Structure 1
Amino acid sequence: MAGHADASCLTGEVVQGNLRFTIAARDDEADVRRLLREIPIGGRYQITLERQPDAFAPGAGRTRSEHIIIARDRRTGCAAGLCERVVRDAFVDGSIRQLPYIGALRIAPSHRHKIAVLRGGFEALRLLTVRPGELPFALTSITSDNSPARRVLTALLPGLPLYHPAGDFSTLALRPKFRSANAAIQCAASSDFAELSEFLNRVNARAQFAPVWSEAALRGLQGHGLLPEHFLFVRQGKRISGCMAVWDQRRFRQVVVRQYPKQIGALRPLLNLAAPLAGLPRLPAIGTPINQCVLSHVAFEDEDQATLLALLDGALDQAKRRKFDAALIGFATARPWGAAIQQRHRAIEYQTSLYLTHWPDATAFVASLQPRTPHPELGLL
């Protein structure tokens, strides 16, 4: 149990001192959107992950459940923080399981140093959102250079869950560019979704925390900016051997730079002038959403880096034709993909650390997991 929280599933709230925690409802939407807009993720690059125009717009990809917990000061009614828990089907130890992901942890400046916000928030997640059949831990991530968050969340403080390291995750920001056509790279059609689903699941089952993609789920992404022709794939013989998609998420999720590292911020105009020659993406003005796409659904057989690079060239060409300024690709840092990509393309690298967060009664279960390479989907984090 977390601290002295007074919790009741019947009332649908958790009380911790002067804070009240509930599952966010439509009346909370404006405050949820405001907190996401005003509170950046810590680190050298201060960015906000925003959800305009509607924080409650249906999430991309099929989910088992989606809940946002909002904390309010009981005296003033002001929003003090929030976090989100999303449950999706994913491969864990080769089997399809219901995997929770905890993200969007934001604490208002007025409550930044009050541990009660964290204690009450995690207790509310446990009591108000957990359902039978779900795994007893949640995947989560912390920006690698966000030392304050890492220090608090991994400090084994009373009333907080444990944080078990699950590997590092690299995100590369690449500059879209025209590339010569490669006859091996094909654009998908709607009729390819069944085969793409089978291929993605066959490859993802070998990794840890990789998503499960049904044919229906792939079709459903058309309502979230990912059309059939945005999928690229290659074949080896008659079978698909590699896949990558160019996903425009700007209609429901935006990444906004709020602060650059001091030297980069001062030199940004000059760096943007040199960016085309350097092969790096341009740096947007503070407060401007990044004109970016996500290179999602990355999968290929046998860690074949030639296939990876061929698909990446095709994806960057499509991103350029669709007028994106940056393309993001994410993968476990332990994979050799980063070195291979950066030998061919200049990139800005952004690192996060993955954790499995759980209460003490799940410690043995977490310790028993197989040491497979994590492969969460960047487009769903």
Structure 2
Amino acid sequence: MITLRAATAEHSSDLLRLLEDNAMQGAVEMVMTRRPDYFANQHYFGTEYPLLAQDGERALGMSQLTKHQGFVNGQVTELGYLNSLRIGRHDRNRIRILKAGYNYIRQHLTPPEHCYTSIASDNKTARSLLEKGNIGLPKYHLLGELSTLAICSKRGRRSNLWQRVALDEYPQIVDFYHQQVAGYQLSPRLSVDWLRQTELPVLGYYRNGQLCGCAVIWNQQRFKQVIAVGYSLAARILKPFYNGYAGLTHRVRLPAINCTLDQSFLAFFAASDKNDIIPLIDDALTHCPSSVMTLGMGADHPLLAKVTQRFSPLIYQTCLYGVELSEGAHWDQRAISPEAAIL
């Protein structure tokens, strides 16, 4: 019998096992996990509600609803991000587990009107299952595609465009960020309190004394990791040659098995002049404390091709869906701009 419950600290090992037993398939198998303790940095952006599906004491699957403020149809509203969906590889009742999870969320967690989720673009099995509209599952509405770019930090060229922002200037940073992203779907709402509490490096770009760009350097590795757990036969054979080439050409090297990708996010990145985006990324790479800097761009962003050409990143494609957990949710036809660091 499938039962759903709110996951607590005593379930951390079950949650980590489910995360790490469900690798993203491909030539490089990767897992996203939260070592050493799933709850060590809970609510790092928004309020998290992790769930565990069980049959007796056996963990069958997990998911999480994260509530946070963000922009929908040009207005600030509460968003519900459905994430960390994992089901044991050998469990046959996957649809039943999914339905039970959604029923629990509807009945016990009061999900916001506008909920969304992210699914790897090449996970055609999951996308087909959710898009065709099974009875008992919510409707999924494709909002857009996100390109997450992993760039070798050695590609950066210092031009002194960015400067560290003082605490008393955080309100200006927040206002500027919101002005730039309010017209996109799924852009998060930033807050001065969050910036102060996290103590992350906040960067500002000023031209003639006017704020023209902002970003936050966010290394999450102490509580959230991307780990390589396997390579296909072809990838294992080619990996030494590729890594040698990557080292010479300043591309992202493939990590050893069971090693964490050494990355930091260029988060909450915005610029008032789109012509500044490539120079600002270039300079931000020199501020990156890790070997890889990661940022997200909408797949339809007009500068994505130029950014890709300039920085030769590894790219991970994700589809963003609106999830209809309640009736009445409307999404305008707008470009998306979710923050990759909180997905």
Q: TM-score, normalised by structure 1?
A: 0.85
Distance 1:335 1:262, change over 3 A: farther
1:187 to 148, 164, 169: 164
For residues 176-216 of structure 1, what are the alpha-carbon distances to aligned partners after superposition, in whole Å with 9 as ceiling and x for unaligned?
11644324322223233121111111112121111111111
Q: Counterpart of 1:92?
A: 72
Residue 154 of structure 2 corresponds to: 177
**Aligned equivalent of 1:286:** 257
Partner of 2:90, secondary structure, is: helix
Greater CA deviation, 310-319 or 100-109? 310-319
Aligned-partner Cα distance in 1 for 2:248–2:43: 35
Number of the residue aligned with 1:14 = none
Higher relative contact order, structure no. (Cα contacts within 8 Å, ≥ 6 residues apart): 2
CA drift at 1:161? 0.7
**1:232 paired to 2:203:** yes
**How far apart, in 2, do the equivalents of 1:330 and 1:166 lie?**
15
What is the alpha-carbon distance in structure 2 between the residues aligned to residue 150 and residue 42 of structure 1?
A: 14
Pick aligned residue for 1:312 from 281, 290, 299: 281
Which string of whole-angstrom CA distances, capped at 9 and with x for unpartnered residues, describes residues 291-316 of structure 1? 111111111114x1x31112111221
User: Equivalents in 2 of 1:300, 1:112: separation in Å?
Assistant: 48
SS in 2 for 1:313: helix
Match of 2:335 in 1: 373
1:17-50 deviation digits (Å, cap 9, x = unpaired): x111111122212211221122213455421111
Distance 1:152 1:288 in 2: 32
Distance 1:42 1:203 in 2: 35
Partner SS, residue 153 of structure 2: coil
User: 1:349-364 maps to which residues of 2 (within 5 A)?
Assistant: 349-359=315-325, 362=327, 364=328
Residue 255 in structure 1 maps to residue 219 in structure 2? no
Identify the residue that residue 29 of structure 2 maps to in structure 1. 46
Give the 3 Å change call, closer, same or farther, for CA 66–180 of structure 1 in structure 2.
closer
Aligned partners of 1:179, 1:39: CA distance in 2, in Å? 34
Structure 1 residue 112: Cα displacement: 4.9
SS at match of 2:126: helix
Alpha-carbon distance in 1 for matches of 2:335, 2:198: 26
Among candidates 174, 178, 181, match of residue 204 of structure 1: 181
- Structure-2 residue corresponding to 1:5: none
Gaps of 5+ in 2: none
1-side partners of 2:128 and 2:215: how far apart? 36
> What amino acid is the match of 2:75?
S
Q: Distance in 2 between matches of 1:299 and 1:57?
A: 30
Call closer, same or farther: CA 1:347–1:62 in 2, change over 3 Å: closer
The within-5 A match list for 1:50-65 is 50-59=33-42, 61-63=44-46, 65=47
The equivalent position to 1:277 in structure 2, one of 248, 252, 266, is 248
Percent identity of the aligned residues? 29
Matching residue within 136, 145, 149 for 2:122: 145
* Contact 1:43–1:145 (CA under 8 A) maintained in structure 2: no
- 1:261 is displaced (CA, Å) by 4.6
Q: Secondary structure of the equivalent of 1:256?
A: strand
Contact 2:184 2:336 survives alignment (8 Å): yes
The structure-2 alpha-carbon separation of the partners of 1:260 and 1:282, relative to structure 1 and needing over 3 Å to count, comes to: same
Which residue matches 2:51? 69
* CA deviation vs aligned residue, 1:140-168 (integer Å, no higher than 9, x gap): 01101112211212221111111100001
Match of 2:314 among 331, 348, 358: 348
With over 3 angstroms needed to count, the CA separation of the structure-2 counterparts of 1:140 and 1:194, relative to structure 1, is same
Aligned pair in 2 of structure 1 residues 261, 308: CA closer, same or farther (>3 Å)? farther
Contact 1:209 / 1:375 at 8 angstroms: preserved in 2? Answer: yes
The CA deviation string for residues 263-294 of structure 1, in whole angstroms up to 9 with x for no partner, is 23321111111112233111001221111111
| TM-score, scaled to structure 2 | 0.94
Q: How big is the alpha-carbon RMSD for the aligned residues of Structure 1 and Structure 2?
A: 1.8
Return the match for 2:269 from 286, 298, 302. 298
Q: Is the 8 A contact 1:42 1:143 kept in 2?
A: no
1:55-101 Cα deviation digits (max 9, x unpaired): 113346542x3111100013xx1100000100001011121100000
Partner of 2:300: 334
Letter in 1 for 2:286: D
Equivalent residue, structure 1, for 2:18: 35
Do the aligned residues in 2 keep the contact of 1:175 with 1:281 (CA within 8 Å)? yes
